[in-house]
Amino acid sequence: MPAELSENALIVMEKRYLKKDRKGNPVEAPEDLFRRVAMTVAAADRKFDPKADTAKTEEEFFKLMSGLVFMPNSPTLMNAGRHLGQLSACFVLPIEDSIESIFETIKHTAMIHKSGGGTGFSFSRIRPEKDAVFSTRGISSGPVSFMMVFDMATEAIKQGGTRRGANMGILRVDHPDIEKFILIKTDLRNLTNFNISVALTGEFMKALETESSYDLINPRTKKSVKRIAARSVFDLIVQSAWQSGEPGIIFLDNINKANLTPHLGDIEATNPCGEQPLLPYESCNLGSINLSRMVTGGELNRTRLKKTVRAAVHFLDNVIEINKYPLKEIEEMSRCTRKIGLGVMGFADMLILLGIPYDSERCVKTGEEVMTLISETAREASAELGKKRGNFPGFKGSAYDRPETPYMRNATTTTIAPTGTISIIANCSSGVEPLFAVSYVRKVLDGDELVEIHPFFKKMARKKKFFSADLIKTISETGSVQHTEDVPEDLKRLFVTSHDIAPKWHIRIQAAFQNHTDNAVSKTVNFPANATEKDVEDVYRMAYEYGCKGVTIYRYGSRERQVLNIGGDTQKKELTPRFRPVRTYGITERISTGCGKLYVTINSDDAGICEVFAQMGKTGGCASSQIEAAGRLISLALRAGVSVESIVKQIVGIRCPCPIWQNGEMVLSCPDAIGKVIKHFMNLGTDELSHMMGGCPDCGSPLEHEGGCLTCRACGFSRCA
């Protein structure tokens, strides 16, 4: 029998996955979707055996999905058995140092985004800004400027009504433009369709360790243009990530040490969330096992897990066979290496069922054991497929090409991806992340708000007889149970959330899974709002020491207003205004008032609107001093956490003796004018405003940070879809 889908799962599937008619009404039920995907993927067996019992395989695949045991990545769920037929989540495209290559890649990017995929690039081969361009006798604009072009192209595709495109932009730390690259997203209006990461080399890490300098290399000439202190660049990365969560970092040498097909080239880039390092034109075909379904009687059901892994490897290999690739080059490379990425979701839920706290040595050991079993079983299953169907074409010369491993169907078999919307469908926690919240407020389509509670907590609270509506409402204000007296200590220990956990445990868990994963692990290291830059630095160094392939961090409240993240502001007693950064960004609008022309400037920092300045066209006098005072107080209130809406409500409507009409509306006074300009600024666009303020652009519910991506568990929106 298919498992019962949660209300959230039904909403997400209807909105984003089910077939629809011309009017947008669903024409299939969730069970029909699972049947459609299972039948389509199982049919690939006939390519290798015309007499294959595909009905049996179809039923096995159907039970995996309808039982919420395993889910493939979203494009497979959406497109299998449909006209588009593009089943891969993401791709890496090459960019060479020529206008022809750059714009050819932009064209290919548009084709991929149109088909529903995401793209990753290394911009490291592009010559630096102001370098010579001999063909035109001009100078180069550098990689960052071309990233802007990619971003605008993505925006155009997105505005055309297709699925949101997502990109990863990577630049080597030894590129001469590295400092400009690091700082590019300190203005949140830049590269809104990109995650960015700095590729750190072993040479750089050695220079950092010895407090020495390293060479910046012009990729055109392959010669050093200058030496720079590793510490200064590292500090810039740390400061920017502390402020805004970006750039992330990848450890390039760690990635290439684990490259199982080095004879085919070095890996320079990853997919948008960083968990899938890929060669140029490779694609990733991912799927995740729901670990919360692998517990029986308080113990890990190893037999069931191994059986599920084998079926999932079979499923993902079939996906490669039936996939309709967006480019011929991608099809050739994907079939050459046949990479698959089997991962997990529901890890935090599994720990609760096993009675293991996330931030504990037992958790680290459990993560190692679970991923060891998955990795070993996945390779065994791939070897068996290789014996039946043939090795992947790039096998000769690969790390597998030795007497003890004569067969391997897939160059890689395991990846830990952010599971975003598929974990909503499976009604489990995301990837290997801890719980985001024990309880939170979900906004529904009619504007009402519903309080969601973790089902395991609800069940345990009722069993221990302390469950109440008031308790759940209290928990939903912060998402955490750690400061709630009614919750027993043993459950506080078990139900820790991402913001309850010390950063070192995030790295320990990431490393535990990375040790047994072919590709990489998508994981966000969460920091409290009061974390320091030194805390971020320590995590970066720890990640490198533990052998991670990359790190993404997020400091609570650094990009969005905290009140919208979980449902309550954990810092509401702290009214000290946040600091003003050296650089802010904004707009200036001229508006007519009864006192004259008023120029209102609104600036933002990484947490949203932070200051308002206003000045009359004529200076001096009482009016100017009052306007300056109003601006200062508004700015102070903004940085102290007072909502923009509350400020606007207070100042719009204030009257003076000299109102005036402008553009069809009455401007009642200078404060009223300031309020109207702020409202204009707030109406720049739903998506941009939501990005600034922290709410989901589709439904306004909390956004969850996972692996460098933003996901709404209420409606399924994903910035990296």
* Extended beta strands in 444-537, E state: 449-453, 524-527
In the residue annotation, 73 being an active-site residue is answered as: no
Question: How would you classify the pairing of strands 439-443 and 449-453?
Answer: antiparallel
- Determine which one of 271, 323, 410, 603 is catalytic: 271
**How many other C-beta atoms can be found within 10 angstroms of the C-beta atom of residue 616?**
18
Half-sphere exposure of 486 (CA within 13 A, CB side): 16
- Determine which one of 246, 275, 560, 611 is catalytic: 275
Residue 556, CA distances (Å) to 107, 203, 397, 571, 615 in order: 37, 32, 46, 10, 34
In order, the DSSP letters of 295-321 are EETTEE-HHHHHHHHHHHHHHHHHHHH
CA distance 451 to 443: 9
Which H or E run contains 357?
Answer: none
User: Which stretches of 45-201 are DSSP H helices?
Assistant: 54-66, 74-79, 99-114, 142-159, 178-183
Question: How would you classify the pairing of strands 608-616 and 596-605?
Answer: antiparallel
**How many other C-beta atoms can be found within 10 angstroms of the C-beta atom of residue 84?**
14
Residue 586, CA distances (Å) to 27, 546, 714 in order: 46, 41, 31
- Determine which one of 90, 273, 610, 699 is catalytic: 273
In the residue annotation, 273 being an active-site residue is answered as: yes
3-state secondary structure labels for all residues of 550-567: EEEEEECCCCCCHHHCCC
**Burial (0-12, 13-18, 19+ Cβ within 10 Å), 76:** buried
* Residue where the block lists tokens 């010895």: 210
In the residue annotation, 271 being an active-site residue is answered as: yes
Q: In a 3-state reduction of DSSP, which class is residue 252?
A: helix
CA distance 683 to 347: 40
Residues 6+ apart with CB under 8 A from 447: none
Torsion-angle region of 24 (φ positive above 0: left; ψ -120 to 50: alpha; else: beta): left
For the annotated catalytic residues, the residue numbers are: 271, 273, 275
